[in-house]
Structure 1
Amino acid sequence: MDISQNIKYYRKQAGFTQVDLAKILDVQPTAVSAWESGRNKPLMDKVTMMAKLFNINISQLVGDTFDVNDIAPVYNRLDTSRKNKVYHFAVKQLEEQNNVVAFPTPSKTQVSVYGAVSAGTGEYLLDGTPELVDYDGVVPEHDFAVIVNGDSMEPTFDDKQIIFVQKTKDVRNGQFVIANYDHQAYVKKFMRDENGYRLVSLNKKYDDMLVNEEHELSIFGVVVF
């Protein structure tokens, strides 16, 4: 029901005539008649008084009737803190109406990057001081971070991607490692089979790097992503 029907219904429930209600609200009986017939609507202060008189919520009295102009007199009488609450509630309602889903904005973290490792022809690692670089995403536990140069480890590692490394000398078959191979640093997949040890590129246009007495190899650590 709308407000006109509700005023009439709750007035009769409370045992008041239109004249009785008009006297309590300090209006003319013709005003109450106009409200109940739908020819006019009461101001918000009268709505509040009637809700208290009928011992109901304002929303019960207003019912399905709402006009955008009804909210302004009420809003203007609120203090600043309550106006802020009304505003934020209205924004939330609008977002829900428009099916707007708010996704959290990822925060940027600065990580210390110790140079570059090659996914190509070789790089020198750990020269100089680390550089602070912005990183979007979750930073795992790690000992140091490096930047990938080249495309030999695509699609797992992209060119210029930051990767995180845990220092260790113990490497399992199939792990991604940061290796010093003939005095240059690489990110490669460590493999061991019946043919011996080798460092493998995921991009097949690059040859495997054999590990034997002809090459010097040491491991900085394993990639923890």
Structure 2
Amino acid sequence: MENILGPSIKRIRKEKHLTQKDLGKMTGFSQNTVSQHESGSRVIDEKAILKYSQALGVTPQELFNSYLVKESLEKDRFIKDPSQTNIDNTVDILKKLEEPRQQNVYNYADNQLKEQNGKVVNLPLVGKSAANPTELTYGDVEIEHDDFTDVPHGADTAIRIQGDSMEPLIHDGQIIFYHQQEEVENGEIAIVEIDGDGVTCKQICYDYTSDEVILRSINKKYEPRRVKDDQVRIIGRVIL
């Protein structure tokens, strides 16, 4: 019969740290015959297969299974999954990009995965909120709707922050999320309107002795701002 099991015999022999001479002694074959069997240059019959199986401590079926595994691995070298090819090509390109561009690719891929998994939420996006102790955002509030991923639990509105007073927690230009409510606890970060003129993002602290609200910045270079309680309207609690 055609010899297709020679490579399997050779592999298992090496795994068991046997030489061709050792295997020859165990099977009664000469070292030259073992070599020819392993290379496939000599036909191997059923009796020989049985002798090799007994000597190597495996069944004839296990020899054949080993052959099938080898064939499968060989095919995988030439027949590659198209999706895996796309992954490999993308990784190769990613390695050539500068770090900021790598981050852009990651962010895009992460958003694609979340969209695929149905984790996109459509929320109203408020124009801008000032995070600056000397500025407020004036005029009519512009509201549009947009799709977002990574929306914190409980958030119902998004807003884009303007200014650096809440850094490093919240950065200039960052979109954050909040839950619309009229009250917040002492020390929570909120979106607030002051005197009906403008909107800002600040940490809220209450001074009950003077009926004042202290608007604190995270950025230590800005001093806290104190305003009367009736001058402040809480719009919502920021959820990070």
TM (norm. structure 1) is: 0.58
**Identity of matched residues, %:** 20
Alignment counterpart, residue 118 of structure 1, candidates 119, 130, 137: 130
Q: Distance in 1 between the 2:219 and 2:11 partners?
A: 76
Residues 20-51 of structure 1 deviation map (CA, whole Å, 9 limit, x = unaligned): xxxxxxxxxxxx975612696128x979xx59
Q: 1:224 to 1:5 in 2, by over 3 A?
A: closer
1:177/1:188 contact within 8 Å kept:
yes
| Secondary structure of 2:143's aligned partner | coil
Q: 2:219 aligned with 1:203, yes or no?
A: yes
Q: 2:110 aligns with which of 106, 109, 120?
A: 106
The residue matched to 1:153 in structure 2 has which SS? coil
1:137 to partner: Cα distance:
3.7
Structure 1 position 150, deviation (Å): 0.4
Q: CA deviation at 1:132?
A: 2.3
Task: Give the deviation of 1:144 after TM superposition.
Answer: 0.5
Gaps of 5+ in 1: 19-31, 76-82, 96-102
Q: Please tell me the root mean square deviation across aligned C-alpha atoms, in Å.
A: 4.6
Q: Which has the higher helix share?
A: 2
- Aligned to 2:110, the other structure's residue is in SS state coil
Query: Residue 210 of structure 1 aligns to which amino acid in structure 2?
Result: R
Q: What does 1:137-148 align with in structure 2 at a 5 Å threshold? A: 137-148=150-161
Counterpart residue number, 2:144: 130
Q: How does 1:88-99 map to 2 (within 5 A)?
A: none
User: Which runs of at least 4 in structure 1 moved beyond 6 Å after TM superposition?
Assistant: none
Alignment counterpart, residue 3 of structure 1, candidates 1, 9, 28: 9
Using the TM superposition, give the Cα deviation of residue 71 of structure 1 relative to its aligned residue in structure 2, in angstroms.
Answer: 6.7
Q: Which residue identity is paired with 1:3?
A: I
Of residues 168, 173, 176, the one that matches 1:155 is: 168
Q: Does 1:222 align with 2:229?
A: no
Structure 1 position 37 matched with structure 2 position 38: no
SS of match in other structure, 1:113: strand
How far 1:131 sits from its partner (Å)? 4.6
- Specify the code of the residue in structure 1 equivalent to 2:142: G
Q: Could you tell me how far apart the structure 1 residues matched to 2:183 and 2:152 are?
A: 23
Tell me how far apart the structure 2 counterparts of residues 127 and 147 of structure 1 sit (CA, whole Å).
12
Does the 8 Å CA contact 2:128/2:160 hold for their aligned counterparts?
Answer: yes
Match of 1:167 in 2: 180
CA 1:156 to 1:126, structure 2 compared with 1: closer, same or farther past 3 Å? farther
From 54, 60, 66, the counterpart of 1:54: 60
CA distance in 2 between partners of 1:115 and 1:187 (Å): 13
Q: Which moves more between the two structures, 200-209 or 177-186?
A: 200-209
The number of residues matched between the two structures is: 177
Distance 1:218 1:177 in 2: 10
Separation in 2 of the partners of 1:197 and 1:153? 17
**Take 2:44 and 2:152, find their aligned partners in 1: how far apart are those partners?**
59
Shift in Å, 1:151: 0.3
Secondary structure of 1:56's counterpart equals: helix
Q: Specify whether residues 6 and 168 from structure 1 end up closer, same or farther in structure 2 by C-alpha distance, changes over 3 A only.
A: closer
Which amino acid in 1 is paired with 2:167? E
> Which amino acid letter does the alignment assign opposite residue 219 of structure 1?
I
Rate the CA distance shift 1:59–1:186 in 2: closer, same or farther, 3 A: same
Superposed CA offset, 1:94-148 (max 9, x none): x9xxxxxxx9952254654211111111114872331526x56454331201011
